[in-house]
C-alpha cells in the first residue's frame, strides 16, 4: 500500500522533498516498521529517520501504532534544516495561532482577560543576541502547523482543567530578528500564584510537545537547534 508522509526540516532537506507517497511492502505496517523501510529506501537520511518521531493523524505514535493507508503521517525530526515558505494558521476561537507576522502581546492578553480573574501574565520569548560567546543575528522558525495548533489547544485545555485559568498562545514562523517575539503566552487566573504556575506549565509544555524548530543564524554560519525527540521530552527551543 502507499502511505502519504509529510517531511520537515532536516529530513526534507536530505531527501529532497517535503512529502512522499511511499510504498510499503506489506498490507499492514507499524510506525517502527515504517521507519525501518524508510531508512532502507533512503540510507542517506537513515540516521535522522531513526531519531525522528512518527506522528499519525497529528498525534505522536508509539512504535507499535498501526498505520492505515488513509492516515495523515509525518516524521518529526529533532534537528531540522531547509527553509520552506512559512505557513500560518489559527484555531476558530482565535486563542492559538502560528503566524509569519509580528506578534501582538496586548491583543493576545485581551483574549484571556476575565472580569472574575484577578491576575494575568504575558510570557514573551524573544531572540537574544549572545548565547555564551556565540552571536546570533536572527532566528528562523519552521512549524508543522496543523499539529502545532492541536498541541497548543491541548495545553490550553490542561491549563483550564488544572487551574481554572484561561490561556492563549501565538508562535512565529519564518525569520525573527533580535529582540522580536517568537512566542507569546497569555494566561489569566483567579489569583497570582495560580497564574504563575499555569504560565510556567504552558511554556514548558509548549517546548515539550509543539512541533516547531528553529535555526540559529549567526556571524559564523547557521545551525538548526534540536534535542531528544521522545514525545514527552521533545524540546525544540
> Where do the structural domains in the chain lie, given as residue ranges?
2-76, 89-233
Taking only the tens place, the pLDDT of each residue in 145-173 is 999 999 999 999 999 999 999 999 999 99
Do 9 and 76 meet the contact criterion of CB atoms below 8 Å apart? no
pLDDT, position 226: 56
Which CATH code for domain 2-76? 3.10.20.30
| Closest residue by Cα to residue 187 from 174, 213, 173, 205 | 205
pLDDT, position 233: 36
Cell 480573574 belongs to: 117
pLDDT, position 83: 45
pLDDT, position 28: 85
All three cell numbers of 94, joined, read 482565535
Do 141 and 100 meet the contact criterion of CB atoms below 8 Å apart? no
| Closest residue by Cα to residue 88 from 99, 79, 77, 103 | 99
pLDDT, position 50: 87
pLDDT, position 231: 35
Element (H, E) at 198: helix 192-209
Please name the residues in contact with 83: beta carbons below 8 A apart, sequence gap of 6 or more. Answer: 140, 142, 215
In words, the CATH class of domain 89-233 is alpha beta
Look up the pTM and report it: 0.76
Please list the ranges in the chain whose pLDDT falls under 50: 79-86, 227-237
Amino acid at each position: 500500500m502507499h502511505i502519504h508522509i509529510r517531511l520537515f526540516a532536516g529530513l526534507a532537506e536530505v531527501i529532497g522533498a517535503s512529502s512522499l507517497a511511499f510504498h510499503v511492502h506489506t498490507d499492514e505496517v507499524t510506525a517502527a516498521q515504517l521507519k525501518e523501510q524508510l531508512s532502507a529506501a533512503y540510507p542517506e537520511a537513515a540516521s535522522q529517520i531513526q531519531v525522528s518521531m512518527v506522528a499519525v493523524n497529528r498525534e505522536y505514535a508509539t512504535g507499535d501504532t498501526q498505520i492505515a493507508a488513509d492516515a495523515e503521517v509525518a516524521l518529526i525530526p529533532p534537528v531540522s534544516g531547509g527553509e520552506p515558505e512559512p505557513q500560518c494558521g489559527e484555531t476558530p476561537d482565535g486563542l492559538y495561532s502560528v503566524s509569519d507576522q509580528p506578534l501582538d502581546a496586548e491583543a493576545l492578553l485581551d483574549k484571556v482577560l476575565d472580569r472574575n480573574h484577578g491576575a494575568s501574565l504575558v510570557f514573551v520569548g524573544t531572540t537574544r543576541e549572545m548565547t555564551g560567546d556565540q552571536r546570533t543575528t536572527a532566528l528562523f522558525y519552521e512549524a508543522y502547523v496543523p499539529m502545532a495548533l492541536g498541541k497548543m489547544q491541548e495545553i490550553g485545555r490542561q491549563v483550564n482543567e488544572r487551574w481554572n485559568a484561561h490561556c492563549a498562545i501565538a508562535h512565529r514562523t519564518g525569520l525573527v530578528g533580535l529582540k522580536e517575539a517568537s512566542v507569546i503566552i497569555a494566561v489569566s487566573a483567579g489569583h497570582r500564584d495560580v497564574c504563575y504556575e499555569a504560565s510556567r506549565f504552558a511554556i514548558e509544555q509548549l517546548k515539550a510537545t509543539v512541533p516547531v524548530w528553529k535555526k540559529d543564524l549567526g556571524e559564523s554560519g547557521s545551525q538548526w537547534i534540536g534535542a531528544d525527540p521522545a514525545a514527552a521530552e521533545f524540546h525544540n527551543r
